[in-house]
Amino acid sequence: MMKRNTDELWNEASRGEPESPLFDSNDVDVAVVIGTGPAGATLALELARAGQRVVLFEAGPWIDPASFINDDRAAFEQMSWTDPREATGTWQLARDFPGSPAWMGKLVGGTANLWTGLTPRFKAHELRASETYGRIPDSTLIDWPIGLNDLENGYDQAERAVGATHRQGRPPLPANNNYKVVANGAARIGYTHYATGPYAVNAEPYDCRPATIQDGFASQGDKQRSKWTPLVSEIPRALASGLVDLRTRCHVTRITLGANGRADGVVFADADGILHRQRARFISVACNAIETARLLLLSSTAGHQNGLANGSDQVGRNYMRHTSGVIYAEFEQPVHMYRGEPMAGLIADESRHDPSRGFVGGYYFEMISQGLASFSQFNEPGGWGVEFASRMEAYTRTSALWICGEDLPQATNRVTLSDSATDALGLPVPVVHYDDHSNDIAMRMHAYDRAEELFSAVGAVRITTAPPLPSGHNLGTARMSLDAESGVVDPYGRAHEVDNLFISDGSVFPTSGAANPTLTIMSLVYRQAAHIIGALRSGEL
């Protein structure tokens, strides 16, 4: 299977929505994987490679990349998870976007279809945050139960899988004009660690995906397939194995337990809202930190009255989404930030832990470009008037940076179920509550100041700041821990309370680190897959 040409696999898999089901609903030997994003797709492929049959559920549709739309608004409607949500707390997103505090994909390949592709690794101290930072009031810091050495092999695998530039012998992307502005500013204020990656978009043909044409539409799905996503990589390979049964437009509503207390299947609604059941030998949940927590809470049953695997009351808690914000800088001459890869620029100098700056942890500056629709919506939510209009008129002369920093876990930042609002299936919608920690605020203000220095150094004529965007990095809510009291899963993502239930996405992160999470999620999944395959072969699972 793996020696076949990827284009051949793609052409075979993309003839239309896969014919399903391949496996019987009463088959007790299949694995059920819920979610087709980087975590679920990677796990499904690894299991198939080991000979395990998998039923892979996706709430959204199959969309051929050729059908992606190079338009901000239309692409958002085509690919985004727009099911209702509620946001509470003091974070500004609860005011600006109360029904949409997070940005997720709802299609095969998940949120990876929306991401822009930066793939930095975690640093060692970020896995030892409690030990390194000490006691931080109002935070619930714990150390990861694994070290950086446990992730390195998976990092190597993930970088090869996504074709990360600057890594594993891969060449860098060329600099676009936006990056040249940012890089010159970085150099003038003394930064030394900046580059156009690592980035999961091909600088040259790789893995039968073409080199980027730098059309600026990576966040709109990437019609060219030069950006790595599971939709164009892991999913076609998994389908070609004949061992993965992809069920699209199927929303899993509940995980069920047998009399022995082990997970024995799932209940799901098809595209018409009709409920079905699929039995399973074991189950992996990879729905993104908001929907994963929601599904566990919806799966309460005798012995798990507060939600599945929630005896510790940790499910849904410690929600993290990275400290963020945007800095816009206008210049006298055109920048055309929208030309080229939208986020192919990373400054790592502030990602160190240096408490002399007034906060613990660190942050990255990441180049960002936006289409005009997003630029006007996020520059100042609800903005109006002459001054706001003048900023819109400066669109072609604007450069921008996004802050991506470590935010601290707090028990009160959590996902719960609404008491009053329901979705189209009649299920309680998730309520996402978040308050900025004082450390997050101090970090954001430091970043705003440093970015102003950077842009001023290269002649910016006006610099403005914008609040965080709807969260694309949703983490925590089912964190890993050595003991069942302080977390939900063990170091392999296995639920402490249900031994054939696994969590495979960013929900398991005990801390957020400063790095974009996808590469670390995939590294953890490779490690989890090896553990599951070993348990299957030994008969333990």
Supply the DSSP string of 160-186, one letter for each residue.
Answer: HHHT-TTSTTPPPPPP-HHHHHHHHHH
pLDDT for position 3: 43
Q: Give the pLDDT score at 22.
A: 84
Which residue do the tokens 């009031």 mark?
Answer: 137
Tokens of 512: 């957020």
Distance CA 258, CA 447 (A): 51
Contacts of 302 (CB under 8 A, 6+ apart): none
Q: Which residues pair with 301 in a beta bridge?
A: 304
d(CA 414, CA 519): 24
DSSP string of 440-493, one letter each residue: HHHHHHHHHHHHHHHHHTTT-SEEEEEPPPSBS--B-SS-B-SSTTT-SB-TTS
Q: Which residues, listed in sequence order, are joined to residue 400 by a DSSP beta bridge?
A: 328
Tell me what pLDDT residue 5 has.
52
102 DSSP β-pair partners: 471
- The DSSP string of 265-285 is EEEEE-TTS-EEEEE-SEEEE
Residue 229 φ/ψ, nearest 5 degrees: -145, 160
Q: Facing residues of 324 across strands?
A: 404
From first to last of its 541 residues, the chain has per-residue pLDDT tens of 444 555 565 555 555 556 667 899 999 999 999 999 999 999 999 999 999 999 999 999 999 999 999 998 999 999 999 999 999 999 988 888 888 889 999 999 999 999 989 999 999 999 999 999 999 999 999 999 999 999 999 999 999 999 999 999 999 999 999 999 999 999 999 999 999 999 999 999 999 899 999 998 988 999 999 999 999 999 999 999 999 999 999 999 999 999 999 999 999 999 999 999 999 999 999 999 999 999 999 999 988 999 999 999 999 999 999 999 999 999 999 999 999 999 999 999 999 999 999 999 999 999 999 999 899 989 999 899 999 999 999 999 999 999 999 999 999 999 999 999 999 999 999 999 999 999 999 999 999 999 999 999 999 999 999 999 889 999 999 999 999 999 999 999 999 999 999 999 999 999 999 999 999 999 999 999 999 999 999 999 9
Is the omega angle on the peptide bond into residue 120 within 30 degrees of 0, that is, cis?
Answer: no
Distance between CA atoms of 265 and 459, rounded to whole angstroms?
60
